[in-house]
Structure formats: structure tokens, C-alpha cells
Chain A
Amino acid sequence: MNIVEELLNNHSRLALSKGITAVENEYDNAVEIMTKIYPHTGNAYVIGITGPPGAGKSTMTDKIAKEYRKRGKTVGIVAIDPTSPYSGGAILGDRIRMMDLMSDEGIFVRSMATRGSLGGLSQKAGDAVKLMDAYGFEVIIVETVGVGQSEVDIVKTADTTMVVVIPGMGDDIQAIKAGILEIGDLITINKADREGTDKLNIEMEMMLELNPEHVSWRPPINRTIASKNEGIEAVVDSIEEHKAYLMESGKLAEIRQARIKTEVVAMVNDRVNRYIDKNVVETDDFGKTVARLSTREIEPYSVVEEIVINVLK
């Protein structure tokens, strides 16, 4: 099957799926596919959804996708779940909340495992987004748990980022305050029928109040009960308002250019890292050097200097 041809011209869902597998597994044809589809990307609006485990991100994604379908948009979804660091396996359970989307041709859901951090998950997720974009999906949602730098990196690449929080998490909320909450263009309090919703709402308001960056756009706080589809329309309205703000202020072009820069830097770093792994780290000489370092026979600073000079030669 000619993946690029089938994806671009024949609207083949199988080709889209195979294309994502190619980038995910780093098949030989992955670079060729991405090279050919790149000119056809840049049309989709990308939404990142993140938050702590159990906040209802998958359910929220499902409901937001349905709301966009009602508004006449096609939706691609990339749902990311963590790989077990022990077995290398993963249980990807996001799809369980999205099974009734399976009968809609205007929706495509792809589950991805974080796998190892090496090789750049954010790059692979980014490529999956581009493939969906080239296929023609108008809205693309990237959903991932908000722990770990790589997940935050992925979500940061979205045009609009939404952070989902829930009441009753106590110290967990304190912990994420300093992290992912700051990247939210929208904050959604899900499970808002639970005790502690008002308190959480006040805490979120206070946090936003203290952030000096929120001058021209202040992240709206929405309340939802995603499992009952309550408050979802307002969330989608907020996303659209943020989009309009980005477009009118010219910030969308800025964000996207910054994203391209980040992507290219990451791709270069990835190539360099792989080169060093192959030509330095995995050599016998390097093993010997480490042994000499551990007996303090030599010191690391000149070792590094030597390696860098050799690599850059």
C-alpha cells in the first residue's frame, strides 16, 4: 500500500493508521512519509487536554469530540497512556471511554504508549497529529496525563491547552499547581457535583490572580460533569474563544512558529543523541573510560571535552 497516496487522495483510514504505526515504530519509510505529508499540514486546530490521573480526561475528550461533531467539525484524537517502566508493556485504557465514537467516520482515535523517553514521545505524538492533520481532520485533541516532562512537552505543542482538575485531591492539587496548571489556557473543574468544588474554584481563581502572565488572556474556569455531559458546550465555547483571541492577536502564528522551532531543535537533538549513543556510549572504549573514572584514575571533565571535540570533528 502506498500510505501517502492512500492517505492524501483516497482518504483511507487504514493508511492513516499504518502511517502512525510507521512513525511510532520508526520504520524505514517513516521519514519519507512525513516528508511527503508535511506540505499538507498546518490546517488543523490542536487542543491539548491534560490533568492528574482520574480527572476524567478521556471522558472529557469523548464529550468534547461529540460537541465538535455537532458543530460540524471532524475530530482526530491522540490518547496517550504511560508505559510500565518494569515490563515495557502498557494498558491503554482511554479508548474505553470513547467506544461509541467508533461508529462515526468523522472521528479517528489513536492510542499511544509513552514507551521509553528516548526517541522522543512528543515527536512521535506530534507526527501522529500531523498525519491526522494531513488526512483532513479539522480539530485534533491530544490527551495525556499531566505528569512527567515529556507529557507536558506534548501538551505544550497544542494551540489551546486545557487542564482538567477535580475537587477533593488535597495535596495533589498543591503539587500540580506549580506544574501543569501554569500551562493551561483553560481550566476545567470536572466532577463539579462533588464536595469541595467551590473551594477548588476559589483556589484556581487565586492562582490565576497571582500569575502576572495573564494580562491579555485570562484562563476561564469552567465547571463540568463530563460523565453526564454537563458543561461541555461551555468548555467548547471557551476553546473557540481562546482560538479567536489567538487569531485576532496574531499569537496563533507566533505559537505555531515557536512550535516548529521546538520540533526542529528536538529532532536535531534526537539525531545527535542517537549518534552519540551509537558511536560513543555503546563502544568498548567508553566502558573502559567509565571504569577508569570510577577508580578516580581520570576525571570526567576532560573526558567530556575529548568526546565533544571528537564528535564535532
Chain B
Amino acid sequence: MANVKVLVAKPGLDGHDRGAKVVARALRDAGFEVIYTGIRLTPEQIAEAALQDDVNVVALSLLSGAHNTLFPKVVELLKEKGLNDVLVIGGGVIPDADIPGLKAAGVAEVFTPGTPTGNIVEFINANVK
């Protein structure tokens, strides 16, 4: 009985968590175990929580514009901790122009506003290790 575990987190100084909560609920309804960690977290806190809960997926949400710094930092810290199989995905108000850079930094996919939550579920199911 191996359930997919997803950590939903908001790095940085951004208190807008409705999107993250909607995604968390949708993932739960899709049968995932969602660890919801709340707002204003450091990349270190997120990576450590991912290690302790041995999650399969880290889903980052950010609306403050700091995604180019914080998303890659989380990816880097996960690797440092030996979590090499964790799928990292991101979402929020992220300009299209930034997406290739984020993907190059190890973020598997970026979901921008308007994405049906079903797409996120599908992506996780198709790519989780």
C-alpha cells in the first residue's frame, strides 16, 4: 500500500495561500497524501520537511515573484539531503519567460493560473517515481 505523498509549501514572504489550499484539496481528492505546511517558509524548512516525511513530490506555490531564486534553492537543498527522486513542481503567477529557466534548474513542471487541477494530478501520476 504505497500512497503518493505530496508536500505542498509556500516558500518566501508571500501569504496568499488560497491557490495552494485548492491544489492541496484537489490532490487529496485524487487520493494523494498531502502534507500541507503553510506559508512563509524557508527553502531549508521545506527540504527538511520533505526529508522527514519522505515525500514523492514537493509542490511549491509562489505569488511574490521570488520563484527564480527560491524554487531552484529548494531543488538544490533536496539533492543535498540525498532526496534525488523527489519530483518538484511549481505554481503561481510565474511569467512564461521564466519557465524554461526553472525547468533547467530542476523544476519538473510549472502550473500557472487557470490550470485545471486535474492537469496537476495527471502530471504527478505520470511522472512520480
Please tell me which one of the listed residues B34, B51, B54, B83 contacts residue A89 in the complex, with CB atoms under 8 A apart. B34
Chain B residues with CB under 8 A of A89: 3, 27-34
Q: Say whether B82 contacts A14, CB under 8 Å.
A: yes
Q: Say whether A14 contacts B31, CB under 8 Å.
A: no
List CB contacts (< 8 Å) of A82-97 with chain B. Answer: 83-84, 87-93, 95-96
A96 and B1 contact, Cβ closer than 8 Å, known pairs A17-B53, A102-B49? no
Contact with B along A88-116 (1 / 0, CB 8 A): 11111101100110110000111101011
**Number of chain B residues close to chain A: CB under 8 A:** 30
- Distance of B78 from chain A, by nearest CB (Å): 11
- Complex-state Cα separation, A120 to B45, whole angstroms: 31
- Chain B residue, CB-CB nearest to A21: B54
A14 and B51 contact, Cβ closer than 8 Å, known pairs A91-B28, A92-B35, A103-B44? yes
Is B24 close to A, CB under 8 A? Answer: yes
Q: Say whether A96 contacts B36, CB under 8 Å.
A: yes
Contact with B along A14-29 (1 / 0, CB 8 A): 1001101100011100
Chain A residues with CB under 8 A of B29: 84, 87, 89
- Chain B residue, CB-CB nearest to A86: B29
Contact with A along B41-63 (1 / 0, CB 8 A): 11011001101111000000000
- Chain B residue, CB-CB nearest to A13: B51
**Number of chain A residues close to chain B: CB under 8 A:** 32
- Complex-state Cα separation, A25 to B49, whole angstroms: 19
List CB contacts (< 8 Å) of B58-76 with chain A. Answer: none
- Distance of B27 from chain A, by nearest CB (Å): 7
Is B79 close to A, CB under 8 A? Answer: no
Q: Say whether B36 contacts A91, CB under 8 Å.
A: yes
- Distance of A94 from chain B, by nearest CB (Å): 9
- Distance of B105 from chain A, by nearest CB (Å): 22
Q: Say whether B41 contacts A14, CB under 8 Å.
A: no
Q: Say whether B52 contacts A110, CB under 8 Å.
A: yes
- Distance of A257 from chain B, by nearest CB (Å): 31
Chain A residues with CB under 8 A of B38: 96, 99
List CB contacts (< 8 Å) of A52-110 with chain B. Answer: 83-84, 87-93, 95-96, 99-100, 102-103, 108-110
5 A-B residue contacts at CB 8 Å? A27-B2, A90-B28, A99-B37, A102-B45, A119-B1
Give the 10 A-B CB pairs with smallest separation, nearest first. A89-B28, A96-B38, A25-B2, A102-B45, A102-B48, A17-B54, A21-B54, A88-B31, A89-B31, A92-B35
